[in-house]
A and B are shown apart, each in its own frame.
Chain A
Amino acid sequence: MTWLVWRQHRIQLLIGAAILAVFAVLLLVTGLQMASQWHSALVACTATHSCGDQGGLFLGNRAVGFLVIMTLGAPVLAGLFWGAPLVAAELETGTSQFAWMQSITRRRWLAIKAGWMLLAAAVWGGVISALVTWWSGPNNALHLDAFNPGRFDIMGLVPVAYALFAMALGIAAGTLLRRTLPALAITLAGFIAVRAVIALWLRPHYMSAVTVFYKVTAGYTPRGSYWQLAQGILGPDGRAISTDTVGPVIAGVPATYLPASCAPPNAGAGPIAPSCARALARFHGFVTYQPAGRYWTFQGIETGIFVALAAILLTVTAVVLLRRDA
């Protein structure tokens, strides 16, 4: 049966491998360049003690950078090209019937076929993720945004889980709908919907976010690649104030909330007037965030969720396929 799976899918798998190879070459070449660029910049800034001020540095090739962002969609490709037709195409043409009359039980047929192709999907997701994670090293160190949506999704473990989920979704859709084209549509729509819902509404709550209040005069930035969920200023009454104004702002607080002693030209030049300092002391800034240390925990939780979803979909697929008339 494994031999048959290879014979049936070898063109698909070879195309996938070719794409991975090209992608790997692009990333390896540009990634090495970026790494050395970053290394030189680090050496230079360490000498001048100006390493905190590298925000303006741009690393890497724009085109490849764009390609890396696009790997957001890579997992679903496995579901579309490999998953949706896996069972559906055979049901449509009737070749599943041929296979099932060859002394192989449906369970074994599905298990081996889906098993190998799920592995292929995991490899697809994993290789792309490994390359992107390595390539993004300098950028992550520079911008500290690895935990942010969009970057979280293309590095680490989660792309493997997304690919498994897309594959399982494609297989399930194909099995239930029995036709490849509708299965493609459902796989694409379902993948986007589930990913969006989880990333936007579930992920922020995997663990209770940390909220830190700080004096507006002191300022506060969490360490490392934290994921900021909310920030703002609380007024004297404890309620958030709107910082969305046009006029001047002192320590983050709009001048309209502050006494005249805070107004320029006093502000910014020399010590703050005591009355202004007292006024500012009644305002507190807050930032709600997920600490950088939780990055891998979050990766693990999201991976677990998508793997569990994939397992559910595959169970449904097996139950339907085994119980339904051929």
Chain B
Amino acid sequence: MTPVIQTRGLAKRYRRVRALSDCTITVPEGRISALIGPNGAGKTTLLRLLAGLARPTAGQMAVLGGTPRQDPAFLAGIGYLAQEIPLYKRFTAEDHIGIGAHLNPRWDAASARDRLRSLSIPLDRAVGRLSGGQRAQVALTLTLAKRPRLLLLDEPVAALDPLARRNFLATLAAAVADGGLTVVLSSHLLADLERVADHLILLAASRVQLCGDIDALLAEHHVLVGPRKDTTAIEKTRTVVQAVRTARQTTLLVRGNAPVIDPDWESDEVGLEEMVLGYMGQDTPPPIAHLTTVGEDQ
């Protein structure tokens, strides 16, 4: 199956600022991919490039089988939700549904109205007078009504309360369960992402640090705890992502599956948060011969 997203060496530069460098990722179909990274790492830039809202300064990408372009067929397949959730403030939700019906080839107005009614969001109130959470739900509903094949969401739940967040993610996951939809979702809230995502793209310092199915990535990483001592032997067989040394103890986050022979080291499984935080502290990706993306044949 062709991946929904495939990029190679993607880069974006604004005047003197390098917003994204050498970004190579693959997102298979049907995934809910979590786009994680510190502020300024390039998450918004990457999403905008994938949606065709910005043009890269270098590199190639294939989204839904082609380069993002000004073409109704391509635009119909992509749903993009910006952080600021731009809707026409004076128009009601019903008005927006009407706009969508006029502008999109595939439009499921009935399900949009059903969804909003089930969330108790009034269809006839000006969107500018709805709460932040309700607006986010309206925006997501409109994006889903378009029946896209790929959904790109830029921190859509940042301003929502926990219940609204839960509803939002549940709606999203249910839409993916219906089939034919892939989601890339950027967020700071690891707890939410851990639940709903099965694929991970980790950006730090405008570069891709990790990209792959979460289960496979977690299986590849371990935490080694041992006394403070020389680690060169370990470094030969594995990539050390992060090393924390105190006076008496060394803690290593490593990637690689070679067994640990040295009895001094205790090996532990690593959770998503620990793995992500280990990479986010880096300025450059850890030095290895190649960085494979995992799970692309699943």
**What residues make up the interface of A, taking CB atoms closer than 8 Å to B?**
1, 3-4, 7-8, 93-107, 322, 325-326
Q: List 10 A-B contacts (CB under 8 A).
A: A8-B88, A94-B86, A97-B53, A97-B86, A100-B75, A101-B51, A102-B99, A105-B71, A325-B48, A325-B53
- Does the CB pair B70–A1 fall under 8 Å? no
B147 nearest CB across to chain A (Å): 11
Question: Which of B70, B88, B102 is close to A105, meaning CB atoms less than 8 Å apart?
Answer: B70
Contact B82 A102 (CB under 8 A): no
List chain B residues, Cβ under 8 A from A102: 75, 99-100, 103-104, 146
* B76 interface residue per 8 A CB criterion: yes
B residues contacting A by CB (< 8 A) are 48, 51, 53-55, 70-72, 75-76, 78-80, 82, 84, 86-89, 91, 95, 98-100, 102-105, 143, 146
Verify B75–A104 contact, CB threshold 8 A.
yes
Bound: A102/B70 CA distance, A: 11
Distance of A263 Cα from B54 Cα, bound (Å): 84
Residues of A within 8 A of B51 (CB): 101
Cβ-closest chain A residue relative to B52: A326
Q: Which residues of A contact B53 (CB under 8 A)?
A: 97, 100, 325-326
Distance A105 CA – B72 CA, assembled complex (angstroms): 6
Complex contact A103–B72 (CB within 8 A):
yes
Q: Are A101 and B80 in contact (CB under 8 A)?
A: yes
A104 near B80 with CB under 8 A, answer: no
Closest to B51 in A: A101
- Of all chain A residues, the one with the shortest Cβ separation from B89 is A93
Is the CB–CB distance between A3 and B84 below 8 Å?
Answer: no
Is B48 within 8 A of A326, CB to CB? yes
User: Considering the chains assembled together, what is the distance between the CA atoms of A4 and B102 in angstroms?
Assistant: 8
Is there contact, CB below 8 Å, between A95 and B95?
A: no
Contacting pair A103 B103 (CB below 8 A): yes
Secondary structure call for the A interface:
helix
* With known contacts A102-B100, A106-B70, A97–B82 Cβ distance under 8 A: yes
* Candidates B72, B89, B95, B143; contact of A7 at CB < 8 Å: B95
A-B contact count (CB 8 A): 67
Query: Do A93 and B72 touch (CB < 8 A)?
Result: no
CB-nearest residue of chain B to A11: B90
Give the residue among B54, B75, B76, B146 with the most A Cβ atoms within 10 A: B75
Interfacial chain A residues near B105, Cβ < 8 Å:
103
Which residue of chain B lies nearest to A326 when distances are taken between CB atoms in the complex? B53
CA A37 – CA B203 in complex, angstroms? Answer: 82
For A96, list chain B residues within 8 Å (CB): 86
Docked Cα-Cα span, A96 to B75, in Å, equals 14
B103 / chain A contacts, CB cutoff of 8 Å: 1, 4, 99, 102-104
Q: Report the separation of the CA atoms of residues A8 and B143 in the bound assembly, to the nearest whole angstrom.
A: 20
Inter-chain contacts of B98 with A (CB < 8 A): 3
Pairwise interchain contact B75-A103, C-beta atoms closer than 8 A: yes
Question: Which 6 residue pairs of A and B lie closest in terms of their CB atoms, listed nearest first?
Answer: A94-B86, A326-B53, A325-B54, A102-B103, A103-B76, A105-B70
Bound form: Cα–Cα A172–B29 in Å? 41
List, in ascending order, chain B residues with CB within 8 A of A103's CB.
Answer: 72, 75-76, 103-105, 146
Given the interface pairs A1-B103, A94-B86, the reply to whether A101 lies near B78 with Cβ below 8 Å is yes
Chain A residues whose CB sits within 8 angstroms of the CB of B87 once the complex forms = 95, 98
| Distance, CA A325 to CA B47, complexed state (A) | 13
Beyond the given pairs A97-B86, A101-B80, A322-B70, 10 more chain A to chain B contacts, judged by CB atoms under 8 angstroms and listed by A's residue number, are: A1-B103, A3-B98, A95-B87, A97-B80, A101-B51, A102-B103, A102-B146, A103-B103, A104-B75, A107-B70
Which residues of A lie under 8 Å from residue B48 when comparing CB positions? 325-326
Q: Is the CB of A1 within 8 A of B75?
A: no
Alpha-carbon gap, A98 to B100, bound state (A): 10
Q: In the complex, A316 Cα to B161 Cα: how many Å?
A: 45
Q: Cα distance A137–B104 when bound, in Å?
A: 52
Assess whether A1 is in contact with B102, with CB atoms less than 8 Å apart: yes
CB <8 Å contact, B54 and A101: no
Q: Are B91 and A105 in contact (CB under 8 A)?
A: no
Cross-chain contact A7 with B70 (CB below 8 angstroms): no
Distance, CA A195 to CA B53, complexed state (A): 37
CB distance from B81 to the nearest CB of A (A): 8
Indicate if the CB atoms of B72 and A104 lie closer than 8 Å.
yes
Nearest neighbor of A98 in chain B, beta-carbon distance: B86
Measured between alpha carbons, how far is A94 from B87 in the docked complex, in Å? 8
CB < 8 Å neighbour of B86 from A4, A8, A93, A104: A93
Closest Cβ of chain A to B30, distance in Å, is 22
Complex CA gap A73/B70 in Å reads 39
Minimum CB–CB distance for B230 against chain A, Å: 50
Q: Point out the residues of chain B lying under 8 angstroms from A97, CB to CB.
A: 53, 80, 82, 86
Q: B146 to A326, Cβ gap below 8 A?
A: no
In the complex, how many angstroms separate the beta carbon of A14 from the nearest chain B beta carbon? 15
A111 to nearest B CB, angstroms? Answer: 12
Residues in B with CB closer than 8 Å to A99 are: 103
Contact of A94 among B75, B82, B99, B100 (CB under 8 A): B82
- Give Cα A322–Cα B48 distance, bound, in whole angstroms: 15
Given contacts A1-B102, A322-B70, A326-B53, contact A101 B84 (CB under 8 A): no
- Give the residue name and chain of the A residue nearest to B84 (CB): A94
